[in-house]
Amino acid sequence: MMSKTGSTLVAVASSGGHYVQLKRIVSNIKRLEAYNVLYVRTKIGGDDVPIGNEVLVTDFSRTNWWKMFVAFFEFIKVLGKPDVKWVVTTGAAPGLLALIIARCCFKKTIWIDSIANTSKISASGGVAKYFSNVTLTQWEHLEGCGRVEFMGRVI
């Protein structure tokens, strides 16, 4: 049994498939009790509410990019805290914004590209690899494009 380090791991993803993958990966990390874990996901629909240790942020993508500025300040509030040590994300665009903000705040980051990207790494992942401490793909044949590594798959 490991004692708490007092540090926080923030796991960020867009709601939907990215978030399902993120929860499956993070919840299977065995020594995670050493960290406080906070899940951040994007809000979908009008009546979406956080459950448990979740925080909701404004969703955006390439089609409504201006909402990024709202999400920016929401992420700063969560990721800028001194106890946050690691930020893990499976994407997509909001995950990339969180990762860049996290690096600017001197946090360590892991980008895990979605398993749905079978033929090439996602557009967000292609940018994330220049910022992230570690960038993972879930497909062996996509390893090696830049600093991208393969270390397993979510299923």
Partner 1 sequence: MINIFVTVGAQLPFDRLIKAIDLLCAESSDISVFAQTGETDYIPKHISYKKFLNAIEYSSKLVSCDLVLSHAGMGTIIQCMELNKRLLVTPRMLKYGEHRNDHQLGTAKQFACVSNKNTLLQVCENLDELDSLIRDMMKLENNSNFLSETNDTASVSLSDSVEEIIFGAT
Asked whether position 106 contacts partner 1 by CB under 8 A, the answer is no
CB 128, min distance to partner 1, A:
15
Report the amino acid identity of residue 132.
S
CA distance 152 to 64: 33
Site for partner 1 in 126-155 (CB under 8 A): 134, 136, 138, 151-155
Helical H segments across 5-145, by residue range: 17-27, 68-79, 93-104, 123-128
Tell me the angle at which helices 68-79 and 93-104 cross, rounded to the nearest 10 degrees: 50
Count Cβ atoms below 10 Å from residue 80 Cβ, excluding itself: 13
Span from 11-19, 64-72, 73-81, 95-103 in contact with partner 1 (CB under 8 A): 11-19
Asked whether position 16 contacts partner 1 by CB under 8 A, the answer is yes
User: Interface residues with partner 1 (CB under 8 A)?
Assistant: 9, 14-21, 24-26, 28-32, 34-35, 44-45, 47-49, 51, 61-62, 86, 88, 110, 112, 114-119, 134, 136, 138, 151-155
